[in-house]
Structure 1
Amino acid sequence: MALTLQALTFAHQFTTSWLHPAGKKTDRPLHIGVLSSATINAAAIIHPAETHADVLLYGIASRDARTARTHAQAYGFLKSYGSYDELLEDPVVDIVYISTPNGLHFEWAYKSLEAGKHVLLEKPFTSNATEAKKLTAKAEQSGKILMEAFHWQFHPAAHRFRQILEDGRYGKILSTHALMTSTPEVPSGDIRWQYDLAGGSLMDMTYVVSFTRYALQAGTPKEVLSAKARLSKHDPRIDEAMEAAMLFRTKEDYDVHSTVYTDMARGWKLYIIPRLWELPSVKVETETTTIYFYNAMMPHIYHYIAITDKATGRTTYEKQYKGGPQWKDTGETYWSTYRYQLEAFVDKVRGREPAHWVTNQDSILQMETIDEVYKKSGLPLRPTSLRAVE
């Protein structure tokens, strides 16, 4: 269902930017440069920037000059570049958004920081924890802002979900389960099947680990209890699917059992029915209730938070498209997760306190968790860039 969800959010973003343009830009808007011509660019940065008065779509780079020109013309960028290095050499660029394949995240984020740019980096942060630590050190040394683009965490629905968990009225958290699948399967030629580019279902669908750690406000698991991969028929180093059980220690100092499941080739129910209802979601069981956040990844399209009383079976539902405990009066009901994320990123660059933030330390913990699951499953860690071990 992940592919269908992406298509829906592209449509949502296009419609939103058309119906709600930003109007006049500020006198000195931040100039964004985009590295790669990836499909995700439209939803993740282009349309959000169109509705932000303090952001200008300045340049886009591709390894093919013609592709870069085509995308620049289609989306209204002022400049195009036939190489990534050329964009980084442009002193006018303030922020670089990186949507290259996973295995290239470290290299180009590192180079962007070296070039004096702020960096919004697509998830997963890097190929592994070794790269994550090296990249974080570079960001600290450069004095520039670096953030992993876990856009879902910026939406008011995510904040309301955490607020419910923190309320205390439902007792201790006993367990969590997070799921993300793709049906139909990710196409066979897709880069997500390539080991050298840090492919694999756990890498691509890293949201399940993010959902879990966000709900528990936890670092790395105390222990990875089990991890079982269904291997790709094209490459035995790639997890077509991954199922893992972990034990987390909460900040309140008790253990929680958590399971995650990712699948890039989810089978159809009864072999004939695509699982279109199976959206990326997380379920939390407490002492008195189960709390289910449906479509946690793209709540701007549709979501609900279902709270079911274990004693009575009664379920109440909540939705939150605007406001909430962190954004308060900022935002609009039509803002996507990506638009909220851009708002926070611009606030940070401008020296203001963002409503939410994904710290580099949190990204290191995220990659350490993924590494530990791969180790437990018997699969190799995704390859490390030579520059990361210099």
Structure 2
Amino acid sequence: MALALQAYTFLQQYTEAWLHPAPKKTSNPLRLGVLSSAQINAAAVIHPVETHEDVILYAIASRDASTARLQAKKYSFQKSYGDYQSLLDDPLVDFVYISTPNGLHYEWAYKALQAGKHVLLEKPFTSNAEEAQKLVEFSQKSGKILMEAFHWQFHPAAHHFRQTLDSGEHGKIIRTNARMTASPAVPAGDIRWQYDLAGGSLMDMTYAMSFTRFALKAHTPKEVLSAHARTADHDSKVDAAMTADLLFESGYGYDVVSKIYTDMARSSLLSVIPRLWELPSIEVETEKSKIYFYNAMMPHIYHYISVTDKATEKTEYHKYFTGGPQWSKTGRATQPYWSTYRYQLEAFVDKLRGREPAHWVTGEESIDEMKSIDSVYVRSGLPLRPTSALAK
């Protein structure tokens, strides 16, 4: 389903670009450099930059010079580079967006920081917690800004979801259940199936862990109660699917049992019909209610937050596309057609410009996310994803 969501986001952003012309750029906009020619780039950063008045598409790099040139022409970048380091050596690049395969995140984020660039780094942050710890420490020493691109957390719907849980109206949280599946399956041969590139369902679908930790205001599990992997046919080190039960100490001051389920090869009905009801989501059961955030990953496409009263069995549905408790505090105007990625870019630029962002994913949170993922792999009996030689 993740691939379908991305495709729909591409279509949506093309449509919105036509309906809402690009604003005039500021006199001294930030210059973006993109490392890789990954398919996600268009939705994740290129189209959001097109609608942001304070950022321009400056340079893109690929390991193949002709690919970089084609991408630059297609999206109107000013420059292209046939290798990543040459882009990092360009003194005019202010910040970079890195969407390389997972296993290369540490290397190129480290080199970007070393080159004096701020970094917006695709999830999962790194291959494992050891890399995450070292990368955050290096970013702090470098004085440059580094953030993991958990875009969903920047959308008003996510903030209203948290506000609902914070209100206390529904009593204590009893349990949570988060899932993310791919139906049809992630294609064979995709880099997400490669162990050496830090592939696996728990890595690629780290959203399920993120939804859970966000809802609970939690750090890392106190205990992984159980973890079971369905391994890939071609490599027993790679999890095609992962199911885990975890015990968290929540930020509300009590323990909660949480279930996560990730699956890169969920069967489709008749092998072609996707399971639309399985869009990435989380259910939170409290003493009084069941709160369900449907399509938490990309709520700009479609979402709802349902609240079911356990006593009366009555359900209320809520949808949020603009404003919200965190964006309202900034006094910044937001638009209902903005994608999660556009909200994320707004916050990232605010941080670079010295303004207080509406939301932020801290380095400590990214370390905790990778520690949580590592703990599930250990409990399941699978090896951790390999550490970059640069981090050893």
Tell me the TM-score normalized by structure 1.
0.98
Deviations 1:98-129 (A, max 9, x none): 00000000000000000000000000000000
Query: d(CA) in 1 for partners of 2:164 and 2:253?
Result: 19
Question: Aligned pair in 2 of structure 1 residues 27, 273: CA closer, same or farther (>3 Å)?
Answer: closer
2:113 aligns to what?
113
1:379 aligns to what?
382
Query: d(CA) in 2 for partners of 1:220 and 1:125?
Result: 15
Query: d(CA) in 1 for partners of 2:271 and 2:134?
Result: 45
Post-superposition offset of 1:253: 2.3
Post-superposition offset of 1:234: 1.1
Aligned length: 389
Post-superposition offset of 1:251: 2.4
Query: d(CA) in 2 for partners of 1:82 and 1:270?
Result: 43
Long gaps (5+) in structure 2: none
Post-superposition offset of 1:344: 0.3
More displaced stretch, 296-305 vs 13-22: 13-22
1:40 aligns to what?
40
1:352 aligns to what?
355
Q: Is the 8 A contact 1:17 1:48 kept in 2?
A: no
Question: Aligned pair in 2 of structure 1 residues 53, 232: CA closer, same or farther (>3 Å)?
Answer: same
Q: Is the 8 A contact 2:216 2:252 kept in 1?
A: no
Deviations 1:47-97 (A, max 9, x none): 000000000000000011000000000001000001001000000000100
Is it true that 1:14 corresponds to 2:31 in the alignment?
no
Q: Is the 8 A contact 1:72 1:80 kept in 2?
A: yes
Q: Is the 8 A contact 1:36 1:98 kept in 2?
A: yes
Query: d(CA) in 2 for partners of 1:63 and 1:2?
Result: 25
Q: Is the 8 A contact 2:184 2:271 kept in 1?
A: no
1:367 aligns to what?
370
Post-superposition offset of 1:20: 1.8
Q: 5 Å matches for 1:282-321?
A: 282-321=282-321
1:265 aligns to what?
265
Question: Aligned pair in 2 of structure 1 residues 270, 34: CA closer, same or farther (>3 Å)?
Answer: closer
More displaced stretch, 40-49 vs 322-331: 322-331
Q: Is the 8 A contact 2:289 2:310 kept in 1?
A: yes
Q: 5 Å matches for 1:90-109?
A: 90-109=90-109
1:165 aligns to what?
165
More displaced stretch, 252-261 vs 74-83: 252-261
Q: Is the 8 A contact 1:31 1:92 kept in 2?
A: yes
1:89 aligns to what?
89
The letter of the residue matching 2:184 is P
The letter of the residue matching 1:372 is S
Is it true that 1:342 corresponds to 2:352 in the alignment?
no
Q: Is the 8 A contact 1:281 1:296 kept in 2?
A: yes
Query: d(CA) in 2 for partners of 1:83 and 1:219?
Result: 37
Post-superposition offset of 1:269: 4.4
Deviations 1:309-364 (A, max 9, x none): 11111000001100000112531000000000000000000000000000000000
Q: 5 Å matches for 1:319-330?
A: 319-328=319-328, 330=333
Deviations 1:175-217 (A, max 9, x none): 0000100011000010000000000000000000000000000
Query: d(CA) in 2 for partners of 1:138 and 1:18?
Result: 41
Q: Is the 8 A contact 1:60 1:72 kept in 2?
A: yes
Query: d(CA) in 1 for partners of 2:68 and 2:203?
Result: 27
Is it true that 1:333 corresponds to 2:336 in the alignment?
yes
Deviations 1:276-305 (A, max 9, x none): 221000000000000000000000000000
Q: Is the 8 A contact 1:21 1:50 kept in 2?
A: no
The letter of the residue matching 1:335 is W
1:152 aligns to what?
152
More displaced stretch, 49-58 vs 17-26: 17-26
Q: Is the 8 A contact 1:125 1:363 kept in 2?
A: yes
Q: Aligned with 2:276: secondary structure?
A: coil
More displaced stretch, 200-209 vs 266-275: 266-275
Instruction: Supply the RMSD in Å over aligned alpha carbons.
Output: 1.0
Q: Is the 8 A contact 1:63 1:82 kept in 2?
A: yes
Q: Aligned with 1:230: secondary structure?
A: strand
Post-superposition offset of 1:275: 1.1
Q: Aligned with 1:277: secondary structure?
A: helix
Q: Is the 8 A contact 2:191 2:199 kept in 1?
A: yes
Query: d(CA) in 2 for partners of 1:252 and 1:201?
Result: 29
Query: d(CA) in 2 for partners of 1:11 and 1:271?
Result: 24
1:254 aligns to what?
254
1:74 aligns to what?
74
Q: Aligned with 1:307: secondary structure?
A: strand
Post-superposition offset of 1:19: 2.2
More displaced stretch, 121-130 vs 266-275: 266-275
More displaced stretch, 302-311 vs 260-269: 260-269
Q: Is the 8 A contact 1:98 1:119 kept in 2?
A: yes
1:2 aligns to what?
2
Long gaps (5+) in structure 1: none
Q: Aligned with 1:284: secondary structure?
A: strand
Query: d(CA) in 2 for partners of 1:272 and 1:54?
Result: 42
Post-superposition offset of 1:272: 7.1
Q: Is the 8 A contact 1:62 1:68 kept in 2?
A: yes
Query: d(CA) in 1 for partners of 2:222 and 2:272?
Result: 40
Q: Aligned with 1:363: secondary structure?
A: helix
Q: Is the 8 A contact 1:151 1:337 kept in 2?
A: yes
Q: Is the 8 A contact 2:184 2:272 kept in 1?
A: no
